[in-house]
């Protein structure tokens, strides 16, 4: 065992807010905006220098659709983000999907909306300890360039993606695939600039890469596949220009407003995938950057359109699909999702597939359909999945809410994370106003308030 050090230090309470949101990502930005619009003083603690989390720091675009007719936005703030992004010229609709967007510009918009709502942002700030008294969090000790500070609050919302705040507060959690113990694969996404996208598409004449406009541009390939782009990749593998890992999962999207750019949903890693292990995160950055340069050389050699291509962006934050699922008052299970379970107090609805990368087709959308006992083809997330068990004034939103591994593989998409963020922000303020605990709030009131604010829920 390495030498142990004990440090005791006095920390002054330099910050205070009624609602403290930990993590300013996909769910966190929306939670903070929602709580501020409900009238609370709100503070976000964010270790990086921009809002948006996976959507901006991990370059995850576009929004996936929830797979319900007309793709209803269960969050009015999500709807507003989509609308303002389109008006700003950096997002576009494709069919019912309003969310092909430029990750860089999304960070500008989220910050603008948070500041407009009166949210106080603490960038470059990391929580290191939770102070809990009588079951309540009274303060979070944070570290920044100036040292240590205490951030006091009445209500806390964990939007760290990994449930870090809940774990610091003593919450229980599950983690990874119960069969293998492993988390979902992780990725280091990147954007190339200087690409002639039309020329690229024309290289692949069988339409396995389609170019039909400024943003609609995607392909997902597999090794030894039949499609032309897959054959080109297999050829490159045999020539030693790519590795098997490069081709395990490869996907590309156009970016509205950046016509010479392509956003790549790769390289993906299947072995060291624990998003809460700094060694895994560091390894992904180092191996991922090597893979990105190898892939760039491959595009230049095998496709037209990449002569002037360069690496424009690499994810500052490793793309984590799944790490911890926090134990909450209610825990959504695969069988409930499969039965298209509905709840009176639901705060989000989805029919996005159980999308476990690298697991094969064992749990697909079709599996869900075949289990369905409720005729409307979607399931719902109850409010109780956001109420962290064991801490009185703590909610959780985003990809680490209370659910099992398979449900997490469906609820992780951005529209759903935004909806749980909005619900948590509204619930925190409701609890403050009523002078009660989040677990004493009736989730039906949260849902009603979301709808009053403009959230759209499909009829059930």
Ligand X SMILES: Cc1cc2nc3c(=O)[nH]c(=O)nc-3n(C[C@H](O)[C@H](O)[C@H](O)COP(=O)(O)OP(=O)(O)OC[C@H]3O[C@@H](n4cnc5c(N)ncnc54)[C@H](O)[C@@H]3O)c2cc1C
The contact set with ligand X (CB under 6 A) reads 22-28, 45-48, 53-55, 58, 60, 62-64, 126-127, 159-162, 164, 187, 189, 265, 317, 319-321, 398-399, 412-414, 417
Residue 80 CB, shortest distance to ligand X, in Å, is 17
Residue 412 CB, shortest distance to ligand X, in Å, is 4
Residue 221 CB, shortest distance to ligand X, in Å, is 16
Structure tokens at 35: 């709580």
Residue 27 CB, shortest distance to ligand X, in Å, is 3
Nearer Cβ to ligand X, position 242 or 401? Answer: 401
Nearer Cβ to ligand X, position 22 or 338? Answer: 22
Nearer Cβ to ligand X, position 320 or 458? Answer: 320
Residue that has been written with the tokens 């209803």 in this structure: 72
Q: How far apart are CA 399 and CA 407, in angstroms?
A: 10
Cis amide leading into 402 (omega within 30)? no
Residue 359 CB, shortest distance to ligand X, in Å, is 15
Nearer Cβ to ligand X, position 199 or 365? Answer: 365
Nearer Cβ to ligand X, position 183 or 232? Answer: 183
Nearer Cβ to ligand X, position 319 or 402? Answer: 319
Nearer Cβ to ligand X, position 188 or 232? Answer: 188
- Annotate 58-70 with b (16+ C-beta within 10 A) or e (fewer): bbbbbbbbbbbee
Question: Cα–Cα distances in Å, from 441 out to 40, 107, 418, 426?
Answer: 17, 32, 20, 11
Residue 395 CB, shortest distance to ligand X, in Å, is 13
408-412's contacts with Cβ under 8 Å and 24+ in sequence apart are: 408/322, 408/325, 409/184, 409/321, 409/322, 409/354, 409/355, 409/356, 409/363, 410/337, 410/350, 410/352, 410/353, 410/354, 410/355, 411/332, 411/348, 411/350, 411/352, 411/381, 412/321, 412/322, 412/355
Residue 60 CB, shortest distance to ligand X, in Å, is 4
Residue 306 CB, shortest distance to ligand X, in Å, is 22
Nearer Cβ to ligand X, position 316 or 436? Answer: 316
Residue 321 CB, shortest distance to ligand X, in Å, is 5
Nearer Cβ to ligand X, position 50 or 439? Answer: 50
């Amino acid at each position: 065992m390495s030498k142990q050090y004990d440090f005791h230090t006095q920390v002054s309470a330099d910050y205070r807010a009624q609602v403290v949101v930990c993590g300013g990502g996909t769910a966190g930005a929306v939670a903070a905006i929602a709580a501020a619009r409900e009238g609370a003083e709100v503070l976000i603690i964010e270790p990086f220098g921009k809002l948006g989390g996976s959507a901006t720091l991990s370059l995850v675009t576009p929004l996936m659709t929830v797979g319900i007719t007309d793709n209803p936005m269960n969050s009015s703030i999500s709807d507003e983000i989509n609308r303002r992004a389109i008006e700003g010229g950096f997002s576009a609709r494709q069919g019912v999907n309003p969310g092909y967007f430029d990750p860089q510009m999304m960070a500008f918009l989220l910050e603008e909306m948070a500041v407009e709502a009166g949210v106080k942002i603490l960038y470059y700030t990391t929580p290191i300890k939770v102070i809990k008294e009588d079951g309540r969090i009274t303060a979070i000790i944070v570290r920044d360039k100036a040292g240590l500070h205490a951030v006091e609050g009445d209500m806390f919302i964990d939007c760290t993606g990994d449930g870090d705040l809940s774990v610091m507060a003593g919450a229980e959690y599950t983690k990874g695939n119960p069969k293998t113990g492993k988390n979902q694969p992780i990725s280091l996404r990147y954007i190339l600039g200087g690409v002639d996208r039309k020329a690229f598409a024309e290289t692949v004449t069988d339409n396995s890469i389609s170019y039909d406009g400024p943003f609609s541009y995607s392909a997902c390939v597999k090794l030894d596949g039949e499609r032309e782009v897959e054959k080109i990749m297999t050829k490159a593998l045999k020539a030693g220009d790519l590795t098997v890992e490069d081709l395990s999962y490869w996907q590309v999207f156009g970016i509205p407003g950046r016509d010479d750019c392509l956003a790549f949903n790769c390289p993906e890693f299947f072995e060291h995938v624990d998003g809460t292990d700094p060694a895994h995160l560091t390894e992904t950055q180092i191996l991922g950057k090597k893979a990105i340069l190898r892939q760039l050389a491959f595009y230049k050699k095998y496709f037209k359109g990449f002569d002037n291509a360069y690496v424009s962006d690499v994810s500052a934050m490793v793309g984590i699909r799944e790490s911890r699922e926090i134990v909450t008052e209610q825990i959504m299970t695969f069988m409930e999702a499969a039965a298209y379970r509905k709840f009176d107090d639901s705060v989000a609805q989805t029919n996005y597939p159980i999308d476990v990368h690298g697991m094969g087709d064992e749990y697909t959308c079709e599996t869900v359909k075949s289990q369905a006992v409720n005729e409307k083809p979607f399931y719902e997330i109850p409010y109780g999945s956001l109420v962290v068990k064991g801490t009185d004034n703590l909610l959780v939103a985003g990809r680490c809410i209370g659910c099992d591994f398979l449900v997490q593989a469906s609820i992780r998409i951005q529209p759903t994370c935004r909806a749980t963020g909005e619900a948590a922000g509204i619930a925190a303020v409701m609890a403050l106003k009523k002078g009660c605990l989040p677990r004493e709030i009736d989730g039906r009131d949260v849902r009603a308030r979301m709808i009053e604010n403009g959230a759209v829920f499909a009829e059930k």
